[in-house]
Amino acid sequence: MSYSKQDLVALQQFYANQLLNNTVPFWFPRSFDKEHGGYLLMRDADGSLIDDDKAVWIQGRATWLLSTLYNTVEQKAEWLEGAKLGYNFLNQYCFDTDGQMFFHVTRDGKPIRKRRYFFSETFYVIAAAAYAKASGDASAAAAARMVFGECIAYASGEKKLAPKFTNTRPSKGIGVPMIMMNTAQQLRETIGDERCDEWISKWIDEIETFFVKDDIRCVMEQVAPDGSIIDHIDGRTLNPGHAIEGAWFILHEARHRNNDPHLIALGCKMLDYMWERGWDTKYGGILYYRDVYNKPVQEYWHDMKFWWPHNEAIIATLLAYLMTGNEKYAHWHQQVHEYAYKHFPDATNGEWYGYLHRDGTIAQTAKGNLFKGPFHLPRQEWYCNQILKDYIK
C-alpha cells in the first residue's frame, strides 16, 4: 500500500485536530498551578487529580510542549504564560544545591527524591531552549546552554553521578546517546548552539558502532563497553519502542542533513529490526520488552502495551515512509496508527490511557503520574502534523 496526497492531507488534519481539540485541552489550562507555579499533571481518566506532587521530567516536558506550540503552531498568550509557569518552577525548586536536579518534588517545590540519572537535566534543556525562543528571554537561553554543557559532561563521563552498580560488569545504555541527540536537535532548532552538530555526529556514531547489530538484526538497549552483548538477564533485555524512538531521531537528523542517505539507511534498519522484534503479531501493538534470545525477561509486565512506544512508532513509520516512499512503512504506519487510535483513546474524556494489557484491555486509568504526562502523545501529534505539512505543501 501507499498513501496518496489526499491520504496525507487527511492524516495531517487528523493529527492537528487530535492535538488541538483533544490532547492539549485535556491538560491545559486546568493543570496550570497559579498558586505554586508549574503544573498539576497527575490526573485520573476524568481529569480529577490523583496527586498534587510534581514529577520534574514531566514539568520540563510540559514546559517544552507549551513553548513549542507557541513557537510553531500559534502564538497563544495562554501557552506562553503557561510555559513561563513551568520554566520558573523548574528554576526555583527543581535544582539541588549541588547543581543536580531532583526527580520528584511536592506541589510547593520541596524535594522528595533525586535519582542517579541526568534526564531531569535533559528535559530542562529542551524546556529552557524552547521557552527562550518563545519568550525572547536571554537568560533562559543561557540557562539551556549551561545545563546542556552539564549534560555533555555527564554523557561523556567527564562528570560522574553516584553509580547504581559496581564496576564488576560495566555496561552502557543506548538511552544516553539517544536523549542527548534529541536534546541537541531541540537546542539547535530553537536557539541554536554551535556544539550541537559535532556532538550529534558522535552520538549517532556511538549508536551505530555499539548498539546496532546487523548480524542478528537487533538494536541493543545496553551493551558492554566494547559493544559486545552481556549475556545476562538485564543485558539481553530489549526495549523495541525505545529503539524505534532512536530510529526516528536519526531519520530526523537525516532530514536536517539534506536527506543524508547513510542516516536514512541507519534509521530505517533500526526501525526494521525492532518492528520485527516488537510488533505483537497475535494482538497487534508494540510489546514493551523482549529478550534478545527470546528468553524470559526479568520484568513480568514485559508484554504490556504502553502508550508511548506507539507514539514513537507512529512517528518513525510515517517519517520512514515519507523519506523513502517504501510502501512497507506506509503499511506499518497504518497498522500502528489504527491499533493505537483504536485502543488507547478515552472517548469520554479525551487523551489516552497509558497502560493496556497485552490483549488491549485497559490495565489502569491514569492519564498522568510520575512517568506519564503531556509529552509523547502531543509530541507525536505535533511532529506528524509538522512533517506532513512539509511534505504536502
- Determine which residue in the list 7, 9, 36, 44 makes contact with a copy of itself, applying CB under 8 A: 44
Q: Roughly how many angstroms between the first and final C-alpha of the chain, as a whole number?
A: 22
Question: 329 is written with which cell numbers?
Answer: 512503512
The label of the residue with cell 511532529 reads: 383
CB of 345 to a copy of itself, least distance (A): 17
269/357 with CB nearer a copy of itself? 357
153/233 with CB nearer a copy of itself? 233
4/166 with CB nearer a copy of itself? 166
If one asks whether residue 106 binds a copy of itself (CB under 8 A), the answer comes out as yes
111/175 with CB nearer a copy of itself? 111
User: Number of residues in contact with a copy of itself, rule: CB under 8 A?
Assistant: 38
DSSP 8-state assignment for residue 305: E
Alpha-carbon distance 387 to 12, whole Å?
9
Q: How many residues does the chain have?
A: 393
- Determine which residue in the list 169, 217, 262, 342 makes contact with a copy of itself, applying CB under 8 A: 169
Residue 42: strand, helix, or coil: strand
Give burial (CB, 10 Å; 0-12/13-18/19+) of 80.
Answer: middle
Task: Considering only the stretches 15-23, 45-53, 185-193, 198-206, report the one whose residues sit in contact with a copy of itself under the rule CB under 8 A.
Answer: 45-53
CB of 94 to a copy of itself, least distance (A): 13
109/227 with CB nearer a copy of itself? 109
DSSP 8-state assignment for residue 297: P
Q: Which residues lie closer than 8 Å to 295 by C-beta, 6 or more apart? A: 233, 236
CB of 361 to a copy of itself, least distance (A): 9
* CB neighbours of residue 298 within 10 Å: 12
If one asks whether residue 280 binds a copy of itself (CB under 8 A), the answer comes out as no
301/325 with CB nearer a copy of itself? 301
If one asks whether residue 354 binds a copy of itself (CB under 8 A), the answer comes out as yes
CB of 380 to a copy of itself, least distance (A): 20
Helix (H) / strand (E) element for 33: namely none
Give burial (CB, 10 Å; 0-12/13-18/19+) of 127.
Answer: buried
The label of the residue with cell 545476562 reads: 232
If one asks whether residue 258 binds a copy of itself (CB under 8 A), the answer comes out as no
DSSP 8-state assignment for residue 287: -
If one asks whether residue 224 binds a copy of itself (CB under 8 A), the answer comes out as no
If one asks whether residue 363 binds a copy of itself (CB under 8 A), the answer comes out as yes
* CB neighbours of residue 197 within 10 Å: 14
Task: Considering only the stretches 24-32, 47-55, 63-71, 176-184, report the one whose residues sit in contact with a copy of itself under the rule CB under 8 A.
Answer: 47-55
If one asks whether residue 304 binds a copy of itself (CB under 8 A), the answer comes out as yes
Residue 172: strand, helix, or coil: strand
Question: What is the binding site for a copy of itself (CB under 8 A)?
Answer: 42, 44, 50-51, 53, 106, 110-114, 164-166, 168-169, 232-233, 295-298, 300-304, 306, 354-355, 357-358, 363-366, 369-370
